[in-house]
């Protein structure tokens, strides 16, 4: 039974037509298992063409697996990973990066907006160098951040230069990578390996696929043994073609970019309608597909009473996320409800 559209998460959305068609096509007849099939070759070729480099890549089921296995590949158990305080790896993965790395510690940097700076990284790397402290080995940045900010290419390059200088590997959590590419209007290569990123988790699920994320190693030597790591973690899909076929078609049709462009435009459209309402404050610049609103408690309650679903887990503000299928009419209905509530004298 179809439900009325909500904006609590971009994971509420269904599967986009291109990804669904790819799964139907992959379902015509049988094919080799565990990734030895033509679809997986086609998807890998599409990634390499899109990123303009001969990268090594792996398909896993979700973002937690992509991030934690990628970070585990970068660190020994006695080393550490520098991350922002609101990073998904720190707050939303139930300790999976620590678990899969057999104990590597996440060092949490205080941030304003989820963005790590060279100063924060340098502070950790230079702060303690004795045997009692888990040696920093990797840095992870989220692009776009959990609050919908986008690192500029200059910011990524500055972080990467600091990593090089300090002997740290750089991972990018790109659960919404496509939204960041659309936001900056740059190439995927510029946002990653050309700016010094070693490993990328590229999110397919929030981009319109049913399931699936890719782990992309631009530095191929870091991928040594990663196939075994995936298998051991229960992340090697036997019917791999149903993970890989959607990627191939998303790239070949350009749907990955169109979906992200639509989601970003919807966030912009919503923010523009509500930014000036009394008592409403847009908490973070809208640079991708998220809008965070600081609202008086009675407004939050009134919105919920009208049936709207949303989370308030970051800084108390209400989070609205827009997806590939967000409908203008529903966005306008949400904005109209917010307008009606804020203009009603208490």
Ligand X SMILES: *Cc1c(COP(=O)(O)O)cnc(C)c1O
User: Which residues contact ligand X (rule: CB under 6 A)?
Assistant: 62-64, 67, 88, 142, 146, 173, 175, 205-206
Residue nearest to ligand X (CB): 63
For ligand X, the closer of residues 105 and 206 by Cβ is 206
Least separation in angstroms between residue 205's CB and ligand X is: 6
How far is residue 310's CA from residue 80's CA, in Å, rounded to a whole number?
A: 34
For ligand X, the closer of residues 43 and 180 by Cβ is 180
Which DSSP helix (H) or strand (E) runs through 203? Answer: strand 199-203
Least separation in angstroms between residue 311's CB and ligand X is: 12
For ligand X, the closer of residues 142 and 192 by Cβ is 142
Specify whether the CB–CB gap between 100 and 67 falls below 8 A.
no
Least separation in angstroms between residue 175's CB and ligand X is: 3
For ligand X, the closer of residues 91 and 273 by Cβ is 91
Q: Which is it for the CA torsion 140, 146, 152, 154, positive or negative? A: negative
Specify whether the CB–CB gap between 289 and 323 falls below 8 A.
yes
Least separation in angstroms between residue 121's CB and ligand X is: 19
Phi-psi region of 89 (alpha: psi -120 to 50; beta: other; left: phi over 0): alpha
User: From residue 171, how far is each of 111, 178, 216, 219 by CA, in Å?
Assistant: 18, 16, 10, 11
Least separation in angstroms between residue 87's CB and ligand X is: 7
User: From residue 173, how far is each of 2, 142, 215, 312, 326 by CA, in Å?
Assistant: 32, 5, 10, 22, 23
Least separation in angstroms between residue 128's CB and ligand X is: 28
Q: Where are the alpha helices (DSSP H) in the chain?
A: 17-26, 38-51, 63-74, 88-91, 96-100, 118-127, 153-166, 177-184, 188-191, 226-232, 241-253, 255-274, 297-305, 328-343
Least separation in angstroms between residue 144's CB and ligand X is: 8
Which DSSP helix (H) or strand (E) runs through 174? Answer: strand 169-174
How far is residue 22's CA from residue 201's CA, in Å, rounded to a whole number?
A: 22
For ligand X, the closer of residues 206 and 262 by Cβ is 206
For ligand X, the closer of residues 56 and 173 by Cβ is 173
Least separation in angstroms between residue 68's CB and ligand X is: 9
Least separation in angstroms between residue 40's CB and ligand X is: 20
Peptide bond into 144 cis (omega under 30): yes
For ligand X, the closer of residues 175 and 245 by Cβ is 175
Least separation in angstroms between residue 88's CB and ligand X is: 3
How far is residue 69's CA from residue 226's CA, in Å, rounded to a whole number?
A: 8
Phi-psi region of 301 (alpha: psi -120 to 50; beta: other; left: phi over 0): alpha
For ligand X, the closer of residues 69 and 249 by Cβ is 69
For ligand X, the closer of residues 177 and 217 by Cβ is 177
In sequence order, which residues have a C-beta less than 8 Å from that of residue 141 and are 6 or more positions away? Answer: 84, 115, 116, 151, 156, 159, 170, 171, 172, 173
For ligand X, the closer of residues 205 and 300 by Cβ is 205
For every residue of 244-272, DSSP letters joined together read: HHHHHHHHHHTHHHHHHHHHHHHHHHHHH
């Amino acid at each position: 039974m179809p439900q009325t559209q909500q904006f609590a998460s971009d994971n509420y959305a269904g599967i986009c037509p291109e990804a669904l068609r790819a799964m139907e096509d992959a379902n015509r007849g049988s094919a080799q298992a565990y990734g030895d099939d033509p679809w997986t070759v086609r998807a890998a070729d599409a990634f390499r063409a899109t990123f303009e480099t001969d990268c090594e890549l792996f398909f896993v089921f979700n973002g937690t697996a992509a991030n934690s296995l990628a970070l585990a590949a970068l660190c020994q158990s006695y080393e550490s990973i520098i991350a922002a305080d609101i990073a998904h790896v720190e707050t939303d993965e139930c300790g999976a990066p620590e678990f899969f790395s057999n104990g590597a510690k996440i060092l949490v940097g205080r941030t304003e907006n989820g963005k790590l700076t060279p100063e924060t990284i340098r502070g950790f790397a230079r702060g303690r160098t004795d045997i009692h402290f888990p040696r920093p080995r990797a840095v992870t940045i989220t692009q776009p951040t959990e609050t919908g900010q986008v690192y500029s290419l200059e910011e990524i390059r500055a972080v990467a230069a600091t990593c090089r200088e300090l002997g740290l590997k750089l991972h990018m959590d790109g659960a919404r990578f496509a939204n960041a590419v659309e936001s900056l209007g740059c190439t995927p290569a510029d946002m990653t390996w050309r700016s010094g990123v070693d490993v990328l988790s590229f999110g397919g699920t929030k981009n319109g696929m049913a399931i699936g994320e890719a782990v992309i190693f631009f530095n191929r030597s870091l991928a040594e043994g990663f196939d075994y790591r995936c298998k051991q973690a229960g992340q090697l899909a036997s019917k791999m073609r149903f993970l890989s076929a959607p990627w191939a078609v998303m790239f070949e049709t350009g749907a990955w970019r169109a979906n992200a462009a639509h989601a970003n435009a919807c966030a912009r459209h919503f923010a523009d309608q509500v930014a000036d309402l009394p008592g409403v404050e847009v908490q973070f610049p809208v640079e991708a597909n998220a809008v965070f609103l600081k609202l008086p408690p009675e407004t939050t309650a009134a919105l919920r009473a009208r049936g709207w679903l949303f989370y308030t887990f970051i800084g108390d503000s209400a989070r609205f996320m827009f997806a590939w299928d967000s409908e203008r009419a529903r966005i306008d209905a949400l904005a109209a409800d917010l307008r009606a509530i804020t203009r009603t004298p208490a």
